[in-house]
Amino acid sequence: MAEAERIIGTPDIPGAAGAGPEQSDGNAASGDRSGSDESAPAERSGTDSVADSGADSGVDETPATDERPKGKRRIAVLFTVAVLAYALDLISKMIVVAKLEHHDSIEIVGDWLKFEAIRNAGAAFGFGEAFTIIFTVIAAAVIVVIARLARKLYSLPWAIALGLLLGGALGNLTDRIFRSPGVFEGAVVDFIAPKHFAVFNLADSAIVCGGILIVLLSFRGLDPDGTVHRD
């Protein structure tokens, strides 16, 4: 009997045959699960630590807005220049009306430059005498525009230029309102008389100088707010 079993062979027992591999697979699976369970907290903790470190460092990915001011406004300079130009023009006209009007002209540099009092109903240098009211409205509009522009004025050269324009416009506008022949039709007092040139006053000079300065600043690319652009 024993000899027959040895020759035929012992039949396979499923439980006995599969016990080893299945057990080893189960052990491997349990090892994998335990390994993943152990590694997951480590990964989460690492992610949390990175997030915490980013939060603690105070790094903000959103770009910060620059809140710094552009600079000191030049409104005080503008009005100081305007007041000086206006005062010089007003005082000079008062002296001319009191001392020179209805009198002979005064030679300053021979025939090349004289002081001669005249009344001008037109624009600067005696042009456009038929449009006195229009020039009065233009002068008033220039004053309003300059006053509004002063809110964004940060450039010193622009403050000087606009101050000259404002003072000159106020000087001639005062004559338009308060001098004869009537309100808004008054004739401007002119007294500076170069040879072969129109007679003008200090207000006209301030307006021309301010205009020339504005043209130069525009060519250089300097804006009233202090920025510089290159075309």
Taking only the tens place, the pLDDT of each residue in 54-85 is 444 444 444 443 433 456 889 999 999 999 99
Write the pLDDT tens digit of every residue in 161-176. Answer: 999 999 999 999 999 8
- For residue 62 the two structure tokens come to 């959103």
Question: Which residues are catalytic, by number?
Answer: 190, 204
Percent of the chain having pLDDT more than 90?
44
pLDDT of residue 182: 80
Look at 220 and 22; give whichever has higher pLDDT.
220
Say if pTM beats, i.e. exceeds, 0.85: no
| Angle between the N-to-C axes of helices 202-220 and 75-99, in degrees from 0 to 180, rounded to the nearest 10 | 150
Write the pLDDT tens digit of every residue in 27-41. Answer: 444 444 444 444 444
Q: Which has the minimum average pLDDT: 14-18, 71-75, 121-125, 134-138?
A: 14-18
Radius of gyration over every alpha carbon of the chain, rounded to an integer in angstroms: 46
- For residue 55 the two structure tokens come to 């939060």
